[in-house]
Homo-oligomer: A and B are copies of this chain.
Amino acid sequence: MPSRGTLSVAVVGTGKMGADHVRRIQRVISGARVTAVVDLDEERAEALAATMDGCRAYTEPVAAMAAPDVDAVLIASPGPAHEAALLEALDRDLPVLCEKPLTPDAASALRVLEAERRLGHRRIQVGFMRRYDAEYAELKRLLDGGELGRALMLHHRHRNPSMPPWFTNEMLINDSVVHEMDVTRWLLGQEITAVTVLKPAPSSYAPEGMDDPQLVLFETESGALVDVEIFGHCGNGYQVRAEAVCERGTVRIGDEGGPRVSADGRWGGRVTPDYLERFADAYDRQVQAWVDATRRGEVTGPSVWDGYAAAAVCEAGVSAQREGRRVEVEMIERPAFYA
């Protein structure tokens, strides 16, 4: 089936995550544009819409979804607002990307699930974005590949420098550990069957009444054991790590240096096979930077002077290579034009 044209997206919720998704759709990725933004705060929605050609502001998701120029919905509003928006989108058979949590509790999630089943085809993707992280993807590939045998244990570390003051003990589970719940289920291809939470004496930097850090234990259908260190106020950077302990080796991600496998008496990682992989991001950023500057009417990046200088040094280099001696580079003086 051929691709449709550019996808017209309504972004529901224009807080930190919503605004970031708007930026992403408009400035980073290809094939979509934002044609509607929705926020209870009308002014905020209007202000954001005004930065984009052909984008309208709404205060109600239902109104945005009814607009003729909306093909799909990205929900980034607070969790309690998700159920209504999701049901509305299913009613209209619109594709949805819904920030996690799907809904704040299992009962409401079940209502959404039933609605999608009644519709008869999947329309909703949940925003568990770790599945799109290169290292988690590599870990999944290694586990699925089977060379390391079955995964027996997972050790997760999830550390934040600090948490906002309104963060609660429950939110450590619902907003933070929920990511480890999802990647555990995804990595192992199994459901979690029981949970235990252990609380050491809290850090003196944890807010009054918060048990921080905690060690959360999961058991899974086939008996794998999973521990999650969740630390909300580690006072250092943001650290997300995982180690899979398998029958024939271990894999660690989130450390410095990419996935690290330990097996067969060796530890280490993969050497990037070629320049297109090694510099994939650089190529993408280069062309994006060129497009962005050009659209602003500007020229940035390496100039003709840089191209000329490289050519002059290459000529000296090839002479030096041929003649086996030191060769001085000959160049014109740098024109003020390229200063």
* Chain B CB within 10 Å, residue with most, of A32, A121, A223, A304: A304
- Number of this chain's copies in the assembly equals 4
Please report the C-alpha to C-alpha distance between residue A245 and residue B274 in the assembled complex, in whole angstroms: 19
- Give chain A interface residues in 280-339, CB to chain B under 8 Å: 281-297, 299-321, 324-332, 334-335, 337-338
Contact B3 A290 (CB under 8 A): no
A102, A161, A276 — most chain B CB neighbours (10 Å): A102
- Distance between Cα atoms of A255 and B235 in the complex (Å): 23
Q: Is the CB of A238 within 8 A of B106?
A: no
13 other contacts beyond A169-B321, A216-B321, with CB at 8 A cut-off?
A: A95-B294, A102-B307, A133-B282, A155-B229, A192-B309, A192-B313, A193-B328, A199-B225, A205-B247, A205-B248, A238-B274, A267-B270, A268-B268
Q: When chains A and B are docked, how far (Å) is the Cα of A3 from the Cα of B224?
A: 53
A sample of 25 inter-chain contacts (CB < 8 A) reads A7-B294, A24-B283, A29-B284, A74-B290, A97-B287, A116-B337, A121-B299, A125-B290, A125-B301, A125-B302, A131-B282, A131-B286, A132-B286, A134-B281, A152-B202, A161-B274, A174-B314, A200-B219, A200-B223, A236-B263, A238-B275, A239-B262, A240-B275, A265-B271, A266-B266
Question: Per-residue CB proximity of A170-206 to B under 8 Å, as 1/0?
Answer: 1011100110011001100001111111111111110
Listed stretches A40-48, A62-70, A107-115; interface member: A107-115
List B contacts of A35 (CB < 8 A). none
A195-B27 contact given A149-B204, A265-B271, A270-B266, CB 8 Å threshold: no
Contact B292 A31 (CB under 8 A): yes
- A217 in the interface, Cβ–Cβ < 8 Å? yes
Are A196 and B291 CB-contacts (below 8 A) given A125-B299, A129-B282? no
Complex: how many Å from CA A152 to CA B200?
Answer: 7
Is the beta-carbon distance between B248 and A123 smaller than 8 angstroms?
no
Q: Could you tell me if B106 and A311 are in contact, using CB atoms closer than 8 angstroms?
A: yes
Tell yes or no: A92 within 8 A of B by CB.
Answer: no
Write the nearest CB–CB distance from A246 to chain B, whole angstroms: 8
Residue from the set A21, A200, A270, A337 with the largest chain B CB neighbour count within 10 Å = A200
Closest to A284 in B: B28
User: Interface digits, A211-245 against B, CB 8 Å rule (1 contact, 0 not)?
Assistant: 10111111100111101010100111111100001
Partner of A303 from the list B122, B287, B313, B321 (CB cut-off 8 Å) is B122
Chain B residues with Cβ below 8 Å from A84 are none
